[in-house]
Amino acid sequence: MGTGVETLTVTVDAQASPERVFAVLTDWPRHHEWMLLTRAWVVEGDGHSRGSRLAATTGIGPLSFLDTMDVTGWRPPDEVEVRHTGRVVRGTGRFQVLPRPGGGSRILWEEHLHLPFGVAGRIGWRVAGPLSAVFLRLSLRRLAALALRAP
């Protein structure tokens, strides 16, 4: 915990193909359909290439924050990477969608976050980290279900 950078990783299996999961995952305006309390949109570029810029709001009313991101890696249907550039969320994030033997896919969401607020942020992470993992895992389960039914 001394560096102020924490890693958060969650993995969920999906019945849908990696191509289908990746398509739904990277349909940024549809994030609200699977990512809890979050709306995302493309700010610059096409949203489907390195150099594109994205933004998302997470939370409810005054308890929400803006997360701005630059797409730094784009390898469909396997991986998308972002660099978080906002005031609250800084660091890097990565989604990987990997084929599973026998069909379906495995979705991995990994974040390397620079914690804000110094020592207070590191102490707060002891609670926020596990809660965030629950939030991310539930969101990925919703993504897996949406990828099966969405056109």
Domains of the chain, by residue range, sit at 5-26+71-149
% helix / strand / coil in the chain, to the nearest 5? 30, 40, 25
Strand order in the sheet with 65-75: 5-14, 105-114, 90-99, 79-85, 65-75, 53-58, 38-44
Is residue 139 very low, low, confident or very high in pLDDT (cuts 50, 70, 90)?
very high
pTM: 0.90
Q: In this structure, which CATH number among 3.40.190.10, 2.40.50.100, 3.30.530.20, 3.90.100.10 belongs to the domain 5-26+71-149?
A: 3.30.530.20
The per-residue pLDDT for range 92-135, each reduced to its tens digit, is: 999 999 999 999 999 999 999 887 767 766 776 677 777 888 99
Both tokens assigned to 27: 């349909």
- Amino acid at residue number 99: P
